[in-house]
Amino acid sequence: MDNAIVATHDTHVEEHHVELPQLRHHFETEEQQREAGTFGMWLFLLTEIMFFGGLFFAYLLYRNWYNPAFVAASNQLSIPLGTVNTAVLISSGFFMALGVWAAEVRKKSLLVLFLILTNIAGLAFLGVKAVEYKEKWDKHHIPGAHFDITEFVNPPLNPKTGKPVEEPLSPDMAQKTQLFFVLYFAMTGMHALHMVIGIVLLFWLTYRANRGEFTEGYVAPIENFGLYWHFVDIVWIFLFPLLYLINRHPGT
């Protein structure tokens, strides 16, 4: 059975001829190949959910046990930076969705543009994340031998009221803030690792898109990468409230 889309390719040959990926030999039809690819991607994302699931489970458990420490530690995170990053990542996902659309309507230059925009927003996200990590480093909030709990035992005083900005924690409970930061780094780090992998893939896809590979009817790689990229977005959409937003005041 022939690949209908490949078959029509010759009728509108463009200035630079590109070799379209043929239908793989073991698929009966183009549609079967595309469905199989998308289905495989969804399954892969399912395994990713299970992979992150272990971390989410640990986070919920320990947050429940050591609530005061987790509240105090989560107050150390910057909501403005987190919000900016959320906005950046959502716009990145938006550009990606536009990219899939551009590939489907076969607009090569638009596709390349959107892929580059997606990539820029992704890199910006990582840049902001690096700023946040740097701050943790300066405050000795990286778990390990140099972890410093003084800020939680003796919180700095508010210059206006003269009272501590936070409820002071007992040294024992303050130790547990380290667990928060472990999970913070594990979860955002694993998320960032997925972003880095995505960005590398994006460079490669942009290169191939520029050669016109995805605007002749063969859009599966763009679609499937889009699924991956949206998944990475979604993980952040869960991480942001869990780590930054919920329950910032003890006892409420």
Partner 1 sequence: MSAATIVNLPDQKTAVIPKKNYINAEDGILSWLFTADHKRIAILYLISITFFFLVGGTFAGLIRLELLTPQPDLVASDTYNKLFTMHGIVMIFLFLVPSIPATLGNFLIPIMIGTRDLAFPKINLLSWYLYMFGAIFLSAAIVLGGVDTGWTFTTPLSTHYLNTHVVTAGLGVFIVGFSSIFTGLNFIVTIHRMRAPGMTWFRLPLFVWSNYAASVLMVLGTPVLAITLVLVVLERTIGIGVFDPTKGGDPLLFQHLFWFYSHPAVYIMILPGFGVISEVMSTFSRKRVFGYSAVAFSSVAIALFGFFVWAHHMFIMGVSNYSALVFSLLTMLVAVPSAIKVFNWSFTMQKGSITFETPMLYALAFIGLFTIGGLTGVFLGSLGMDIHLTETYFIVAHFHYVMVGGMLMAFLAGLHFWWPKLTGRMYPESISQLSAVTSFIGFNLTFMPQFMLGYLGMPRRYHSYPPEFQVLNVLSTAGATVLGFGFLMPVLYLLWSLKYGKIAGNNPWQATGLEWQIQSPPLTENFIEMPVMDHEAYDYEWLAHKTEQEVTTVG
Binding site for partner 1 (CB under 8 A): 24-28, 32, 35-36, 39-40, 43-44, 46-48, 50-55, 57-58, 61-62, 65-66, 69, 143-145, 175-176, 178-179, 182-183, 186
- Between 95 and 184, CB nearer to partner 1: 184
Q: Is 170 left (phi over 0), alpha (psi -120 to 50) or beta?
A: beta
Closest distance between partner 1 and the C-beta of residue 31, in Å?
10
Indicate the burial class of 234 (C-beta count within 10 angstroms; 0-12, 13-18, 19 or more): middle
- Between 40 and 156, CB nearer to partner 1: 40
- Between 88 and 187, CB nearer to partner 1: 187
Interatomic CA distance for residues 221 and 161, integer angstroms = 58
- Between 121 and 169, CB nearer to partner 1: 169
Closest distance between partner 1 and the C-beta of residue 144, in Å?
6
Residue with tokens 């605007």: 215
Residue with tokens 């609530």: 67
Indicate the burial class of 133 (C-beta count within 10 angstroms; 0-12, 13-18, 19 or more): middle
Closest distance between partner 1 and the C-beta of residue 83, in Å?
28
Closest distance between partner 1 and the C-beta of residue 27, in Å?
8
| Position 112, amino acid | V
Of 213, 34, 199, nearest in space to 122 by CA:
199
- Between 52 and 244, CB nearer to partner 1: 52
